[in-house]
Amino acid sequence: MSETGTEQDRTTLPSTCTLQAPHAEIPQPNLVPVRPSSSRSAQSKGVSGSPANVTLFPFTCAAIAIALFSSLSIPLFNTQPIIVSFTTLLVKITEVPILPSQSAIGVADHRNIIEKALEWQESRLAIATVIETWRSAPCPVGTHMLIHEDGRFTGSVSGGCVEGDVLETAAAIIAGAPHELKRYGVADGMAWEVGLPCGGDIVVLIQRVDDTGFPATLFNAISDAQAAGRTLTISTDIEATTSTMGNGGFCNVYAPPRRLIIVGAVEIARTLADIARDTGFGVTVIDPRARFLTSERFPSATLDDRWPDEAIAALRPDDRTAIVTLSHDTKIDDPALIAALSAPTAYIAALGSRSSHAARLDRLKAHGFSDAQLARIEGPAGIVINAISAPEIALSIAAGMVRTFNHGLR
């Protein structure tokens, strides 16, 4: 599990979602993560059953003193066993149950899960869902992993750290075992066995895909909603481990996929379309030049041969849409940028040197755009990575796009 999260990160709950804690006693003796008392834990939020009245000050002072002697190399005694023992004691004292108190905010990419669920709908399946994260966690709350009865799977709940254990549990659940809420944390011996040494805690709910857990019809509902550009909320009663449409319990938000509109079917666009597709974007490539715009060059994208201003107006870009102009032809790029600036487009970028971008801004000012409006255009497109080749330039543009979309989410 990579260390991409930060200790203060915690998902904010939508006001429409209520929280339900699972039963206090969940039979997971080897899978009990620990939150340090300095973190914003369930203890500090007054969760029932947490040792909120335990005073840790004497132990904290002792730890500081021991660490100080150790760092100063004062040979009073061998401090290492004491520090280890004290750490174990502190872990036991501050141990609090991780209750599923988060709800998803729609940042997880569910596209592959939905596609496979529809493809495997005649088979027995299980679905694992991240319902709580703490500290370092590469998968946001709401992320799914879908498991087929023959052992195949798609998706991830931890970036590879605990998937083996989840697969074993899912196989038992598919065979008829009860649904399970599993907790993995770095403080546990079991966490090391399944490969979770990164410092993060996660809570994963594993359900059978049927009417007693996660009904298969929900996948169709999510797919239909996303195709229509609508957001759908699925709620799960953690105690009953059943999921249904609507709010209440643990809420998972299935937003329509983010969109990337590429203007100019050039070589950079080929790699950019692939990267965007792999990072969860629906990709449309616009170019009125038929020889450039072919399905052979862009097999995973929607192709549009209209003039950019007409095509973009029809696509109605919103705050989940990025528009990148790559053609180097002002007759193609400028109308696209005018259309992008006239909509609430989340990310706008234009390929070109600094001098060509300055000339571009002058042309757009002549169309009545202010400096503040023109500042929405990232030009030259992408972040600085010393890119040279077309694929490297595409990578830098994709990075700039993702940085903009994910700003403030981690």
Cα(111)–Cα(53) distance, rounded to whole angstroms? Answer: 45
pLDDT at 399: 96
The average pLDDT across 20-46 equals 35
Cα(159)–Cα(157) distance, rounded to whole angstroms? Answer: 6
Which range has the worst mean pLDDT, 131-140, 181-190, 355-364, 378-387? 181-190
The residue type at 395: L
Is 60 exceeded by the pLDDT of residue 32? no
Which range has the worst mean pLDDT, 9-13, 137-141, 346-350? 9-13
Each residue of 374-408: pLDDT tens digit?
999 999 999 999 999 999 999 999 999 999 998 86
Model confidence band, residue 25 (pLDDT cutoffs 50, 70, 90): very low
Count of positions (residues) in the chain: 410
Who wins on pLDDT, 168 or 86?
168
pLDDT at 247: 83
Each residue of 73-85: pLDDT tens digit?
444 444 444 333 3
The average pLDDT across 288-292 equals 93
The average pLDDT across 2-9 equals 40
pLDDT at 309: 94
pLDDT at 71: 42
Cα(320)–Cα(388) distance, rounded to whole angstroms? Answer: 29
pLDDT at 198: 57
Each residue of 193-248: pLDDT tens digit?
554 555 678 899 999 999 999 999 999 999 999 888 899 999 999 888 899 998 88
Contacts of 173 (CB under 8 A, 6+ apart): 126, 179, 180, 206, 207, 208
The average pLDDT across 159-168 equals 87
Indicate yes or no: pTM above 0.85: no
Spatial contact of 109 and 256, defined as CB atoms under 8 Å apart: no
The average pLDDT across 90-116 equals 61
Who wins on pLDDT, 59 or 370?
370
The average pLDDT across 272-287 equals 95
Cα(284)–Cα(62) distance, rounded to whole angstroms? Answer: 61
Contacts of 194 (CB under 8 A, 6+ apart): 161, 162, 164, 165, 184
Model confidence band, residue 334 (pLDDT cutoffs 50, 70, 90): very high
Contacts of 304 (CB under 8 A, 6+ apart): 284, 285, 286, 287, 293, 311, 315
Per-residue tokens: 348: 């706008």
pLDDT at 184: 85
Average pLDDT, the chain: 77
